[in-house]
Structure formats: structure tokens, C-alpha cells
């Protein structure tokens, strides 16, 4: 699971790592939560916010209102902005790069560089000598002599401050079962280290983090595109997850949770989960398709899981085919359909050239395969 910056900074703060003072806002008409001047930072699960205009300084109320409205309307690299981090302005005397990762390496690895504020991939290409890497023993962690050596190589004067911070980042990494913890830039402000940005990737399969991940997913219901659904007073609950390419639609929460587990167990990743609720109509299904496709996530396949109890499968089929016809949808869609008016629903889908399935596991596997094959 990829975390938003504000979620990552909250975890960093929980482990005693200094972060700037900040508050989240979700609406264009929100009041400024901090004293001017401050920075507005788009909350999206992708990089490139600055280049896209998603990070702006606000010196007064007029700038705040204008910038908040414009940023909340943005889509950055296919990801819709889902809220704003309103953060105090700080001026760094120096910027470092710091991360601990399990991605693409055999053992947990600390990566640190004096070239903070830059993409580490670019630094690796242009100035590889500025990057220091050190493998971490997961049982003992980094030793003090190793950390002292790192501080000297970086030429950082406050050795103890750097050692203490790295130890806290190391503890955050292992305790949260993270795959990546990245602070870029790690600023030096008034002579002390400060996490000016954060990137966190958690292991979805870590058992001891299941409750934490569920709490994060629950809180994400406050994000902008969820609020838009709630204001329309439909039966839909839309949860942006943002870590994958599959759009999941289910007519019940229980079936949806089961399907989520099957997707992750099968190696797939879900971008968003849309629950229809009971006694819904073709219009609600149409709306669910629209939300899934217009959420700003790079959807590569759609999985629709339906059990016809209160909901009729012919209504669900009419909603699906209606959306596809109106929007000329060209990505694969996999529909598991059974229950009330099942045969009629399958007939409507077949006339539209769409396959339907009965076996849930087969449907999930077909959808995962398609999401991995689509470029």
C-alpha cells in the first residue's frame, strides 16, 4: 500500500522524527488552518507534484482560495488530487536524501545522499559517487560505528543528531513492515534535521499491520472524491486505494472484502473499491462505473462481482453496458454474475459482447492477468 505524504509524515512523527507543522484540508471553501505564509501540497499517490503545479506558496487568503481550488481540480500523471496538505514554510540550510528499502534489493538497504531534493534515480545517473548504500542486518540493525562512518562521509557536523534520526527511521521501517521509507528532502533547518517530505510503501500482507492498513483505508473515505459521492446521497461507497490498476465494483461489502483478498493473494493490486449497497438500480451501477473510470487512477481492468439477492442482474447488466456504450470503454471488464434475474443479465451482457463468469476465483484470476498484460 502506497501512503499519501500526510499519512507517511504521521507515522514518522509517531516514531519521534521531526516533521513540519501541518493540517489536511479536503474542500475548496475550507478556512486556512495555519498562519500565512504556508505551502499547499497536493496529496496524490505519484511523484511530479511540483512540476505539475501541485505545490504552491500562499501568502494571503486570496492566494490560498485560488490555489486550493485549482490544485483540488488537478489530475497529476493520471491521479486525481485527493486533498491538500497545508504545511508551515521552512527554509532548509541543506538538503539530504534518506531511505530504507526492500524494493529491488535482497536485504533491507539504507540509501543516503548529500543530493537531497532530487530524484535519486537521476542522482544515480549523473553523480553516482554522491550515493551511499549500506545493507542492514534485520536482526541487529545498523551499528553505531557504521552510522558514525556515514555521518563523516556526508560531512554532517551533528553526528549524534544524524545517528538518532537514522535509528528512528530504521525502527519505523521494521515496526511498520514497510517496503520503502523515503525522506526527500531531509532538510537541515535551524541546525536540526527535519523530514520535509515522505514516501511510505507498506506490505499489504503483513499480519501485524492489518488493523493499521484497515484504519488508513477507513480514514481515506474523507478524501475529495469520496465526499463527492456522499453528497449525491446514493447508496455507493467509494474508497480510493491507489496502489494498483484494477477497479473493483461489488454489490456488497462482504463479497468485496473477500474479492480484495483474492486479488492480493493472486498478485494483483486494486486502485479503487466501489460498493453499490443493497436494492440498487441500473443508474447506480452506471454511476459506479463512472466513478471507477474517472477517479484519476490508471485503471487497466475492471472487476465487477455481483450476487443477486435484492439486486437484479438485468439491472446491473444494463448499467454496465450503458456506461460502456456511452463512453466507448476499451479496457477489459470481468463480471461475476449470479442470482436474481441471472440469465437475463447474462443475455444483456452477451448481446453487448461481454463475457460473464460464475466462478469467483476464475473471474479474479482472469482480471489480474489482464491488468498485468495491458500496457
pLDDT tens column, 305-358:
998 777 889 999 999 999 999 998 889 999 999 988 999 999 999 999 999 999
Q: How many CB atoms are located within 10 Å of the residue 316 CB?
A: 31
Are 21-88 and 94-205 the same fold in CATH? Answer: no
User: Contact at 8 Å (CB) between 367 and 301?
Assistant: yes
Residue 232 has pLDDT above 50, yes or no: no
Burial class (CB in 10 A: 0-12, 13-18, 19+), 221: middle
C-alpha distances out from residue 332 to 79, 247, 301, 372, Å: 20, 11, 5, 12
Q: How many CB atoms are located within 10 Å of the residue 60 CB?
A: 10
Please determine, looking at this structure, whether the domain spanning 21-88 carries the CATH number 3.10.290.10.
no
Determine the Cα–Cα distance for residues 83 and 373; give it in Å rounded to an integer.
Answer: 31
Determine the Cα–Cα distance for residues 331 and 190; give it in Å rounded to an integer.
Answer: 52
CATH of 94-205 among 3.30.450.20, 3.40.50.970, 2.60.120.260, 3.30.470.20: 3.30.470.20
Determine the Cα–Cα distance for residues 20 and 78; give it in Å rounded to an integer.
Answer: 28
User: Contact at 8 Å (CB) between 248 and 285?
Assistant: no
Per-domain boundaries in the chain: 21-88, 94-205, 232-373
Please determine, looking at this structure, whether the domain spanning 232-373 carries the CATH number 3.40.50.261.
yes
Residue 375 has pLDDT above 70, yes or no: no
pTM of the predicted model as reported, rounded to 2 decimal places = 0.63
User: Contact at 8 Å (CB) between 40 and 58?
Assistant: yes
Cell numbers placing 361: 476465483
Determine the Cα–Cα distance for residues 367 and 375; give it in Å rounded to an integer.
Answer: 14
Determine the Cα–Cα distance for residues 249 and 258; give it in Å rounded to an integer.
Answer: 12
The stretch 357-364 carries a mean pLDDT of 93
Give 374 or 146, the one with higher predicted confidence: 146
Band (pLDDT 50/70/90 cuts) for residue 221 is low
Give residue-wise pLDDT tens across range 154-166.
889 999 999 999 9
Cell numbers placing 267: 498478485
Q: Percent of the chain having pLDDT more than 70? A: 92
User: So what's the pLDDT on residue 222?
Assistant: 58
Give residue-wise pLDDT tens across range 14-49.
999 999 999 999 888 889 999 999 999 999 888 889
Q: Residues 125-137, buried b or exposed e (16+ Cβ, 10 A)? A: eeeeebeeebebe
Task: Classify strands 79-80 and 109-113 as parallel, antiparallel or unpaired.
Answer: unpaired
Give residue-wise pLDDT tens across range 55-97.
999 999 999 999 999 999 888 876 778 789 999 999 999 999 9
Amino acid at each position: 500500500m502506497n501512503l499519501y505524504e500526510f499519512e507517511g509524515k504521521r507515522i514518522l512523527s509517531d516514531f519521534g522524527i521531526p516533521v513540519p507543522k501541518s493540517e489536511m484540508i479536503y474542500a475548496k471553501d475550507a478556512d486556512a488552518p495555519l498562519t500565512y505564509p504556508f505551502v499547499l501540497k497536493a496529496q496524490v499517490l505519484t511523484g511530479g507534484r511540483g512540476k505539475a503545479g501541485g505545490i504552491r506558496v500562499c501568502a494571503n487568503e486570496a492566494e490560498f482560495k485560488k490555489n486550493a481550488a485549482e490544485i483540488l481540480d488537478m489530475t497529476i500523471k493520471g491521479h486525481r488530487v485527493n486533498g491538500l496538505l497545508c504545511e508551515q514554510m521552512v527554509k532548509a540550510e541543506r538538503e539530504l536524501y534518506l531511505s530504507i528499502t526492500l524494493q529491488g534489493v535482497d536485504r533491507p538497504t539504507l540509501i543516503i545522499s548529500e543530493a537531497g531534493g532530487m530524484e535519486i534515480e537521476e542522482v544515480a545517473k549523473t553523480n553516482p559517487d554522491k550515493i551511499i548504500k549500506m545493507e542492514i542486518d534485520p536482526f541487529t540493525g545498523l551499528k553505531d560505528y557504521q552510522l558514525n562512518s556515514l555521518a563523516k562521509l556526508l560531512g554532517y557536523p551533528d553526528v549524534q543528531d544524524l545517528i538518532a534520526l537514522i535509528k528512528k527511521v530504521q525502527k519505523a521501517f521494521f515496526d511498520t513492515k514497510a517496503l520503502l521509507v523515503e525522506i526527500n528532502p531531509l532538510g537541515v533547518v535551524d541546525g536540526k534535521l527535519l523530514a520535509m517530505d515522505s514516501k511510505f510503501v507498506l506490505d499489504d500482507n503483513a499480519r501485524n499491520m492489518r488493523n493499521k492498513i484497515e484504519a488508513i483505508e477507513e480514514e481515506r473515505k474523507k478524501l475529495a472524491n469520496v465526499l463527492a459521492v456522499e453528497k449525491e446521497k446514493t447508496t455507493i461507497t467509494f474508497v480510493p486505494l491507489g496502489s494498483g490498476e484494477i477497479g473493483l465494483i461489488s454489490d456488497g461489502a462482504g463479497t468485496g472484502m473477500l474479492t480484495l483478498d483474492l486479488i492480493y493473494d493472486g498478485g494483483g493490486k486494486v486502485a479503487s473499491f466501489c460498493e453499490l449497497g443493497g436494492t440498487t438500480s441500473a443508474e447506480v451501477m452506471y454511476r459506479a462505473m463512472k466513478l471507477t473510470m474517472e477517479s484519476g487512477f490508471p485503471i487497466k481492468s475492471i472487476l465487477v462481482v455481483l450476487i443477486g439477492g435484492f439486486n437484479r442482474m438485468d439491472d446491473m447488466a444494463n448499467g454496465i453496458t450503458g456506461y460502456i456504450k456511452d463512453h466507448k470503454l476499451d479496457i477489459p471488464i470481468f463480471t461475476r454474475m449470479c442470482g436474481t434475474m441471472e440469465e437475463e443479465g447474462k443475455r444483456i451482457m452477451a448481446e453487448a459482447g461481454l463475457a460473464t463468469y460464475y466462478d469467483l476465483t476464475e473471474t479474479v484470476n482472469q482480471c489480474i492477468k489482464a491488468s498485468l498484460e495491458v500496457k
